[in-house]
Amino acid sequence: MTEVFKGEFTQQEPIPDEGIEAALKVLKSGRLHRYNLVGGEPGEVSLLEREFAAYTGARYALAVASGGYAMATALRAIGVRPGDKVLTNAFTLAPVPGAIASVCAVPVFVGVTEDLTIDLEDLAAKADQADVLMLSHMRSHICDMECLMAICDAAGITVIEDCAHTMGAAWKGHASGRWGKIGCYSTQTYKHMNSGEGGFLVTDDDEVAARAIVLSGSYMLYGRNGTVPPAEVFERVKYDTPNVSGRMDHLRAAILRPQLRALDAQCEKWNARYRVVEDGLRGTPGLRVVERPAAETIVGSSIQFLLLDWTEAAVSEVLKRCFDRGVELKWFGGAEPSGFTSRYDSWRYAPSVRMPASDRILRGIVDMRLPLTFSLEDCAQIARIIRGEVGAVFQAQT
C-alpha cells in the first residue's frame, strides 16, 4: 500500500471575505486608478502603503505593480545607469537578474553556500566590482546580515533587498527588507500575500522615496500617496525623474489590506507546516536538511533539501518517483530552465563565469512549495513519501 498525496501544490487559499467585499466596493465605485479619489478619501492604495510602512517600520512604502517593478524602480531611484554592474545572487529566480537587465545594468553573480545563502567570502572577493548589491533572500534563507552589511558598508556598496520570499521574516529580530537602503516585496500569487501581481518598495530615505514615487507614475499628484517625503525633496527630483507608470491600483490594494492584517498568523501556519516536513525528512540517508540558524525568524512557505553529489540520473529518478506519488519537487540543477526554476547560466543576457563550488550546490537543491491549503497531516504524508523515495533511490545507488 504505497500512499499517494492528493493535494495541489499550486492551490492557494481563497482571498478573505473581507477582501472580496472591499474589492466589490471598489468595483462598484468605478474608481480603480490610484489617483481616482473623491473628496478627502485616501483610497485603498494609500491606506495600504501606510499600513505596510507601519508593518515594516519603514518611513516610506510604495505599492507597485509587481516585485520586479519594485526592484527595477529601486535600482533607478538610487541612480543605477546603463552598463553599471550590480552584484546579485547566483541562486535566485529570473525576476532578479531580469530587474537588473531591465535598467540595462549588468548582473555580477555571487555564489551560494550549503546553507542556501549568499556566499559572503565570494561577495567580499567581488566587492570592488560594483557599487550596488541586489540581495535576494532566496526561498527565505537569510545570511548573516550583520556580516553582509559590514562587507558592503566597508566597500561603499548600496544594498537593495529582494524580500519576495521573506515578507514577515527577520535576522536577529530585525526585519528583512530593513537592513539595506531599500526593501522590495512581491504580492504575486505564490508569495506571502496574494494579489495576482503586485509588490512594494520600502525605504527610510527621503530622496529615494521621492524618486520612486515619481517613477511609479505620480504625475504631479504625489501628495496623495500614502507616505510622502517633504515637498522640497520632490522639488529637487521631479523635473529629472521620468514617469514609468507602475503603481498599484485600488482593486489589488483592497484585497491586500485584510491579508496584511493576517500576515503574522499566516507566517506561523507556514512555519508549523515547514517544521513537520523538516522533522519528517531529518535523518533520511543521502539527504541533507538545511538547518536554520537560531538568529533567523523564518517564513516556511517552501522547503529545500540537498541531494549533494548525487548523479543527475538519480535526482531525476527521485523527482519522477515523488511526482508519481503526487509530490511535486523542483530541481535547481536542471540544465534547461523549467517552470519557475532556472539556473544562472540560463540567463544568457547576463554574462556569467562558472562557479564550480556553487554549481555543486545548485545541482543538489530540491525545492518544494508549501501552500497553506495543505494540512499538517498532508505535510507529514509528503515527508514520508519523499523519505521513502529518496531512501530507495539512495540505496539502489550504493
Interacting residues with ligand PLP between 277 and 336 (CB under 6 A): none
Q: Do 199 and 186 contact (CB within 8 A), yes or no?
A: yes
122 counts as binding ligand PLP under rule CB under 6 A: no
User: Shortest gap between Cβ of 138 and ligand PLP (angstroms)?
Assistant: 6
Length of the chain: 398
Residue type, 33: H
Instruction: Kindly state the smallest distance separating residue 368's Cβ from ligand PLP, in Å.
Output: 14
Q: Under rule CB under 6 A, which residues in 75-104 are in contact with ligand PLP? A: 92-93, 95-96
Residue 136 near ligand PLP by CB under 6 A: yes
Work out how close the CB of 136 gets to ligand PLP at its nearest, in angstroms, rounded to a whole number. Answer: 5
Options 44-52, 125-133, 160-168, 235-243: segment touching ligand PLP (CB under 6 A): 160-168
By three-state DSSP, how is residue 260 classified? helix
Nearest distance from residue 277's CB to ligand PLP, in Å?
20
Strand partners, 182: 160, 203
Q: Which of residues 43 and 68 has its CB atom nearest to ligand PLP in the complex? A: 68
Q: Does 164 bind ligand PLP (CB under 6 A)?
A: yes
Nearest to 51 by CA among 252, 205, 258, 210: 258
67 binds ligand PLP (CB under 6 A): yes
Separation of alpha carbons 182 and 205, rounded Å: 8
Check binding of 186 to ligand PLP (CB under 6 A): yes
Q: How many residues bind ligand PLP (CB under 6 A)?
A: 15
How far apart are CB 356 and ligand PLP at their closest, in Å?
23
Cβ nearer to ligand PLP, comparing 317 with 345: 345
Q: Taking the complex as a whole, how short is the minimal distance between the CB of residue 64 and ligand PLP, in angstroms?
A: 9
Q: Is 115 in the site for ligand PLP (CB under 6 A)?
A: no
- By CB under 6 A, the residues from 190 to 249 that bind ligand PLP are 199
**Strand residue runs (E) in 78-181:** 85-89, 106-110, 132-136, 158-162, 170-171, 174-175
Which of 92/225 has CB closer to ligand PLP?
92
Are the beta carbons of 54 and 264 closer than 8 angstroms? no
Min dist. Cβ of residue 70 to ligand PLP (A): 8
Q: Could you tell me which residues come within 8 angstroms of residue 235 by beta carbon, excluding any fewer than 6 positions away?
A: none
Is residue 188 near ligand PLP by the rule CB under 6 A?
yes
Cα separations in angstroms, 45 against 16, 27, 50, 190, 265: 18, 14, 9, 21, 23
Which CB sits closer to ligand PLP, 64 or 386?
64
Q: How far is the CB of 348 from ligand PLP (least distance, A)?
A: 19
SS (H, E, C) 172-198: CCEECCCCCCEEEEECCCCCCCCCCCC
315 touches 333 (CB < 8 A): yes
Pair 203, 215: CB distance under 8 Å:
no
Instruction: Please report whether residue 133 would count as binding ligand PLP according to CB under 6 A.
Output: no
CA 90 to chain centre: 14
For ligand PLP, the nearest residue by Cβ is 67
C-alpha distance from residue 351 to each of 85, 111, 239 (Å): 11, 14, 35
166 binds ligand PLP (CB under 6 A): no
Cβ atoms of 9 and 277 within 8 Å: the answer is no
**Nearer to ligand PLP (CB atom), residue 24 or residue 244:** 244
Minimum distance from residue 95 beta carbon to ligand PLP (Å): 4
Q: Which three cell numbers stand for residue 100?
A: 537588473
What is the Cα–Cα distance from 13 to 342, expressed in whole angstroms? 26
Binding site for ligand PLP (CB under 6 A): 66-68, 92-93, 95-96, 136, 138, 162, 164-165, 186, 188, 199
